[in-house]
Structure 1
Amino acid sequence: MIRNLGLFAGLLMVVFCTSCNPQNKTAQSTESHKPESKYFLTSDSPKSIVRNIEQDSDGRIWIASWEGIFLSDGKSFTNFTKQVSSSRFFSVMEDSKGIMWFGSLGSGVFSYDGKRFRNYTTEDGLLNNDVVSIYEDKAGNIWFGVWGGASRFDGKTFRNFIINEDEMTEDLTGKTFAERGQYEVNSIIEDKSGKLWFATRGNTFVFDGEIFSPVSNLGRAFKNIRSVIEDQKGNIWLGGNDGLWRYDGNVFTNITKDFVGYILEDREGNILTSSGSIKGEKNWKLSRYRPKSLTNKLMISPEILKSDEGMIFGILESKDGSIWFGTFDGVNRYEGNTVNNFKTISSQQYFSKMVASRDDC
């Protein structure tokens, strides 16, 4: 049935696209305009919140959603964890050994080595079973950002680090949180100097292997940071309630005051962000900050698309250059002039959309 619908959709696309007069169209920049939306006749893509997206070393796309972990080749989707767990998933990562890690809300973290799954929870020493972020450091340790702090896993045992108001320290008592702790660790990175950065709902911390130091600018702590990355030049980028910030090792520079949820550096050195209202209203946008614009006092609008789906979550630049991002109701792929929405629609709905598309030609 799906194959027949796909053939029908393709025939419709040919009919309506060839009926348009391309000479009446003017070239548009990919910046600051609403791209055309495309719809696929698919019944297997995620249809709820997609929080994070990862591409593995084989080019496969892994999607962490409220319905499970989905695996995609760019066209079709498989709910990879459907038979393993009914939990909502928040994070996904491939480590240096090729093992996939899936962080859930309530069921801890799952690993998949290509043959079998293994589940780690508080019973194994994980600090909390709500796993928000996953990161592998240069030594091969896997870090799990959870509610209440973070856990470091060396392949055998866990070391846990707990947030206590404005401090973060290692716990040596074996304490775990059956319920959610007060703060969650949203993002973890290791910078070029070997220091680890922890972005949390509370303070942001830098860990030198012994002490967690709060990050501040002019005496004001960076709080409720949702994403932290290091770019190719060694700059640290922080995004959260107070907007987007860049730290060059000496000075913090505020780039925008809009709430920033996710940050990504693409292969050309551009900084991509998702930003908008933290209330989830439909005014979110995916922005691209080009390196040259960041050095100019007059910044050209970096917006490349607006989302009609509310908040934009995890962002991925795939190996083919397309940008994948999650929303409240699934996953999308941005290809410069179009946004592919992997949603289920009937052939009648598809026909209506193609007619509307033709009328706009």
Structure 2
Amino acid sequence: MSSCNGQKESGLPTVFEANKTTNQVHRDDRDVVTNGLLDKNGDMWFTTLTEGVYKYDGSSFVNFTTQDGLCSNKVNAVIEDKAGVLWFATSKGLCRFNGETFATIPLPQEDALKVSPITGLRSRTTQEVLSLIQDSKGGFWLGTLASGAYYFDGETFTSYLRFKGRIHPDDKVYNNVIQSIVEDDFGNTWLTSQTHGGITRYDGNGFTNYSLKDGLTDDMVFSSFNDRDGTLWFGTLDNGLMLYKDGGFKFYDETDGLNNNMVSCFYQDQSGTLWIGSFRESTVTWFDGEAFSVVPFDKDQKLVELRFIAGDKDGNVWFGGRYGLLYRYDGTELKDFTHLKRMN
């Protein structure tokens, strides 16, 4: 186990009034719907890489963009905190929305010239936040595009894992991409690196890193999920699933029935079935606790290149991904909302 003292910086928000814009039509095939969230009011929120954020109340969509105060139209994730405030992970830092106003909270850049005490090499800097959770103590963990992770207590940022993962061969700079973060049932925080940093666990005192040397099948990890039984699931870029329970890892791939070895997202429905999506040309896989199977309602392979799977208040399952893809499955019909979300 290794411990790390993080650098602390203050986070000062810039506040904008929110004007809810509608009837905006976008036709950007490069767009990706990155995340879906059911809020405490029963509304669904969908984040995108070029169109900002969509809110769906069950009958119509409202689009929020930079014109409404959103700090960037490139939004990677959204969470709702314990007070009901929404937090967006964007290309320009954190964006907080209280239902009326947006507040932009940039990441600190003062440590850009710091170097690793071990190698003497710098880390790449970025404002882009890829992943975000609020932990059980009320603080926020942020995963960045290139600078490791930050812990934000509401006022101060503390930097972690900046000098971990891949050192870029061209400019000899650390480039640790933290693609996902999850908290386990014991209050430990798990951070996954997409740039050969493996999986790192923080127990409140120090960090433990799991890599290929520790038996991982892949040290580029894209997604993570804590199921109802307290089992942690990790999806890799090329080598399937890694399951962590009772202090050890177990592994699954296409030879076990998984539909694709690239795993981008998870969802667990009311029956306990795990839904597993891929950001490649493969549809969704079900796992019932014993065996994997391909979902039977997507014969036409519409649910490919997914970034999220999420449930709504009525038990419907939503899917989002590349080219602005947005679908809803109600148990009978798979309905396409890809362009409907842009027409309201």
Structure 2 length-normalised TM: 0.74
Is the counterpart of residue 342 in structure 1 residue 333 in structure 2? no
Matches within 5 A, 1:112-261: 112-123=97-108, 128-147=126-145, 148-166=147-165, 182-201=175-194, 202-216=197-211, 219-221=214-216, 222-241=218-237, 242-257=239-254, 258-261=261-264
Letter in 1 for 2:266: I
Matches within 5 A, 1:1-361: 48-65=31-48, 66-83=50-67, 84=69, 85-105=71-91, 107-123=92-108, 128-147=126-145, 148-166=147-165, 182-201=175-194, 202-216=197-211, 219-221=214-216, 222-241=218-237, 242-257=239-254, 258-275=261-278, 277=280, 283-291=281-289, 293-294=290-291, 300-301=293-294, 305=298, 307-308=301-302, 310-330=304-324, 331-344=326-339
Please, which moves more after superposition, 249-258 or 187-196? 249-258
Please, which moves more after superposition, 212-221 or 134-143? 212-221
Residues 43 and 344 in structure 1, CA contact (< 8 A), matched pair in contact too:
no
CA distance in 2, matches of 1:321, 1:118: 32
1:285 match: secondary structure: coil
Residues 45 and 76 in structure 1, CA contact (< 8 A), matched pair in contact too:
no
CA distance in 1, matches of 2:174, 2:40: 34
Change (3 A) 1:273 1:300: closer
Residues 70 and 77 in structure 1, CA contact (< 8 A), matched pair in contact too:
yes
What's the CA shift for 1:310?
4.3
Residues 317 and 323 in structure 1, CA contact (< 8 A), matched pair in contact too:
yes
Residues 198 and 205 in structure 1, CA contact (< 8 A), matched pair in contact too:
yes
Change (3 A) 1:189 1:46: farther
Please, which moves more after superposition, 45-54 or 198-207? 45-54
Residues 284 and 311 in structure 1, CA contact (< 8 A), matched pair in contact too:
yes
CA distance in 2, matches of 1:333, 1:248: 32
Letter in 1 for 2:154: G
Please, which moves more after superposition, 188-197 or 335-344? 335-344
Structure 1 length-normalised TM: 0.71
Residues 45 and 343 in structure 1, CA contact (< 8 A), matched pair in contact too:
no
Percentage of pairs with the same residue: 27
Residues 125 and 157 in structure 1, CA contact (< 8 A), matched pair in contact too:
no
Change (3 A) 1:220 1:46: farther
What's the CA shift for 1:81?
2.9
Letter in 1 for 2:288: R
CA distance in 2, matches of 1:161, 1:53: 27
Change (3 A) 1:161 1:245: same
Please, which moves more after superposition, 186-195 or 43-52? 43-52
Change (3 A) 1:61 1:215: same
1:36-85 Cα deviation digits (max 9, x unpaired): xxxxxx96577631011111000111111121011111332111234224
- Report the structure, 1 or 2, having the larger helix content: 1
Point out the structure with max Rg over C-alpha: 1
Letter in 1 for 2:149: A
Change (3 A) 1:218 1:251: farther
What's the CA shift for 1:251?
3.5
- Could you list the runs of 5+ residues in structure 2 that have no partner in the other structure? 1-21, 112-124, 167-172, 255-260
CA distance in 1, matches of 2:296, 2:278: 10
Change (3 A) 1:44 1:338: farther
- Could you list the runs of 5+ residues in structure 1 that have no partner in the other structure? 1-41, 168-179, 278-282, 346-361
CA distance in 2, matches of 1:101, 1:228: 19
1:100-128 Cα deviation digits (max 9, x unpaired): 001112x1110011222110113587974
1:336-360 Cα deviation digits (max 9, x unpaired): 2322112448xxxxxxxxxxxxxxx
